[in-house]
Amino acid sequence: MVNYRVSLSFTGLSDSDLDEFAGNIVVSLTGNAAFPTPLVPLTALGAAQQTFHDALLAAAQGGVQLTAVKNEARTALEDLLRQEASYMQGMASDNLSTLLSSGFGIASTNRAQSPLPAPAIAGLDNGMTTQLILGIQPLVNARSFEVQIKNGGGWMPAGIFPYTRGIVLPGLTPGQVYSVQARAIGGSSGYSDWSDPISHMAM
């Protein structure tokens, strides 16, 4: 039986990526029957994420004190995420799909990484106006996912994301149909092939 380890690589994310990662964890665990009583209550984790988010915006104005407050908020958020990751691993270390449903990534179980297969898109739906929300099926050895989008022309980069659910694609034109595809980053080959594209109309 394989025992999977929850990746703690989120500690190496940029401030903005960590903010989005933590928000995605809250979304993934809300109503998740596999993890009914998280070690860190979702209200506490959500509050810590919001505190970090607010501090991150404030620190963008500059200043040593605001940056220090942001760094302290980040440290507190990372500590809660580590506790939550430990709980997830204890609850479902032998069940990959359940573990991935928490929103956390999985550390590689192999010292020699293998090439990554092309990911599959789990869904593409409307978010707020001018936005599409993308979901990607997780891959064990993927560190992140690169997304590209097009609307009648060539493919345009849409960003690199360290999570697979709730990927926001903003700035779209309502009434236009957009095609989206993704590829995984990681493994021995560095990049997987691109996924099959999926299309949806922005509202």
pLDDT along the chain (203 residues), means of 10: 82 89 93 93 96 94 89 95 92 86 78 76 92 89 90 92 88 96 84 94 95
Domain 121-201 = CATH 2.60.40.10: yes
Three-state DSSP class for residue 17? helix
**What is the structure's pLDDT at 97?**
86
Query: Alpha carbon 185 to chain centroid distance?
Result: 13
Q: Estimate the crossing angle of helix 64-92 against helix 42-59, to 10 degrees.
A: 150
- Sign of the CA dihedral with 86 first, then 91, 97, and 103 last: negative
**What is the structure's pLDDT at 109?**
58
Whether the CB-CB separation of 124 and 34 falls below 8 Å is answered with: no
**What is the structure's pLDDT at 153?**
87
For CATH 2.60.40.10, the residue range(s) in the chain are: 121-201
Interatomic CA distance for residues 69 and 58, integer angstroms: 9
In the block, which residue shows the tokens 């994301």? Answer: 161
- Token digits for 122? 């789990």
- Strand pairing class (142-150; 106-107): unpaired
**What is the structure's pLDDT at 77?**
96
- Phi and psi at residue 135, to the nearest 5°: -125, 140
**What is the structure's pLDDT at 113?**
57
Cα→Cα distances 176→164, 200, 203, Å: 24, 8, 8
**What is the structure's pLDDT at 177?**
96
Interatomic CA distance for residues 2 and 7, integer angstroms: 15
Interatomic CA distance for residues 106 and 100, integer angstroms: 7
**DSSP for 89-138, written as a single string:** HHHHTT-HHHHHTTS--EE-S-SSPPPPPPP-EEEEEE-STT-EEEEE--
